[in-house]
Amino acid sequence: MRRGPAPLLLLPGGLALLVGMDAGLTRAGVPAPLASTRLAELHGPLMVLGFLGTVISLERATALRAGWAYLAPALTGAGALALTLLPDPLLGRLLITQGLLTLVLVYAVLWRRNRDLTVAVQALGAVLAAAAALLLTRVEVTVVVPLLIGFVVLTIAAERVELARLAMPVGADRWLVLLAGGVTLAVLGTTVLAGSGVGAEVTWRLLGLALLLLTGWLLRHDVARRTVHATGLPRFAAVALLLGYGWLLVAALGLLLAGRPTGNGYDVIVHATFLGFALSMVLAHAPVILPAVLKVRLPYHRAMWLPLLLLHTTLAARVAALGLVGIGLKALPVWQLALVGNVAALLLFLLTAVVTGLRAGRRPIPARTEIHA
């Protein structure tokens, strides 16, 4: 069966994930295969823009079913490769920016089909990501973190409303737009006032409030609260979703109460959002989205529980260790061990997915399958 360019285009995104994890180990002072200080500085962009940007672009290009749409994941993937291989990150950042701008065009065409507000929110997230990628040519990663948070939160929130539309209340699209608008305004304010003392504190707290309202609304209405009592894939996906929402609540409350994150607080906010929330959502949807994109079977297997639980257990240990460090205890080795556990969880899920897919055989899969968990 012809599978198109999707498997090839996914490879650079997978490489960005692997290199990004290696870079994370290096940043933490843990022995890593590459141990490159240059790549360590690119940890965040590789994980968020290189990996998630490519995966999201590829999924949307597949949904559009237009050849030109695959330029989006091709460019973000090429940018990830350039970041990994070239000593100067400028070309990689520009390629990723072009890829994300192409993703915005993909969303625009998808929106014109039926004027779906969830697609408009996802497009807004892509605009924030493109702005972050472009700004990275001039500023440090810490400055664009709010934009990256906006990207993953708006994209995933809109995807949840889109995929679980039948279980959502009437008017859910409009509520999503309102809440997403609040997040976007806070993100923009935080970015613009990054160098302002009082202004930055206020806008970071407003971002925490906006994230808290959006997450609370999603938790209230997401069908995962019901399907968590089911069995098999619906239960697995629901647990992953609810755990992800839990970590986003941690980030939101942290920002609301503490304001601009610094030091250990910065580590907690960033990884609660991008690891606890975003990557948990990837694990939740992988058994559905990957077959739809790659045209291969990836049936649910109970072995998938191990990496999911390992990811969240080690992330909780990581946060707890930082708390102990904050009160003067020597818990840095525990933090490093927990970080290694984070990496092990993601690698284990990749291994589980590959083995499960190979055992299931490669049979035709519908182009788009919905998940309501």
Separation between Cα atoms, residue 283 and residue 315, nearest integer Å: 15
130 contacts 100 by C-beta, under 8 angstroms = yes
In sequence order, which ranges of the chain are alpha helices (DSSP H)? Answer: 6-27, 37-40, 43-45, 53-64, 71-85, 90-114, 117-135, 141-163, 172-192, 197-221, 224-227, 232-258, 263-271, 280-294, 305-326, 332-360
Token pair for 191: 């970015």
pLDDT exceeds cutoff 80 at 367: no
pLDDT at 363 (0 to 100): 53
pLDDT computed for residue 264 by the predictor: 93
| φ/ψ of residue 92, rounded to 5 | -60, -40
pLDDT of residue 299: 86
| Contacts (Cβ under 8 Å, ≥6 apart) of 208 | 251, 252, 253, 254, 255, 256, 257
- CA separation (Å) from 62 to 49, 72, 189, 367? 19, 11, 34, 8
* Cα(148)–Cα(129) distance, integer angstroms: 6
Residue 47 structure tokens: 């994980």
pLDDT tens, position by position, 146-192: 999 999 999 999 999 988 887 788 889 999 999 999 999 999 999 99
The pair phi, psi for residue 88, each rounded to 5°, is -100, 125
For the segment 342-349, the average pLDDT, to the nearest whole number, is: 97
Q: Distance between CA atoms of 121 and 302, rounded to whole angstroms?
A: 34
At 370, is the pLDDT very low, low, confident or very high (cuts 50, 70, 90)?
very low
Report d(CA 20, CA 278) in Å as an integer: 15
As a whole-number percent, the residues of the chain with pLDDT over 90 amount to 82
Domain boundaries, the chain: 1-110
Cα dihedral sign, 11-282-362-365: negative
Secondary structure class of 273 (helix, strand, coil): helix
State if pTM tops 0.85: yes
Instruction: Average the pLDDT over each of 243-257, 277-291, 308-322 and give the range with the smallest value.
Output: 277-291
**Comparing 186 with 370, which gets the higher pLDDT?**
186
CA–CA–CA angle 49, 243, 365 (5° rounding): 65
Calculate mean pLDDT across residues 232-239. Answer: 95
Distance CA 105, CA 126 (A): 10
Q: Which of 62, 85, 51 is nearest to 6 (CA)?
A: 62
Cα separations (Å) of 226 from 63, 197, 285, 372?
28, 44, 17, 10
| Amino acid identity for residue 340 in this structure | V
Give the model's pLDDT for residue 365. 47
Residue 255's nearest CA partner among 214, 203, 181 is 203
Report the chain's mean pLDDT, rounded to a whole number. Answer: 92
Give the burial class of 174: count Cβ atoms within 10 A of its Cβ; 0-12 exposed, 13-18 middle, 19 or more buried. exposed
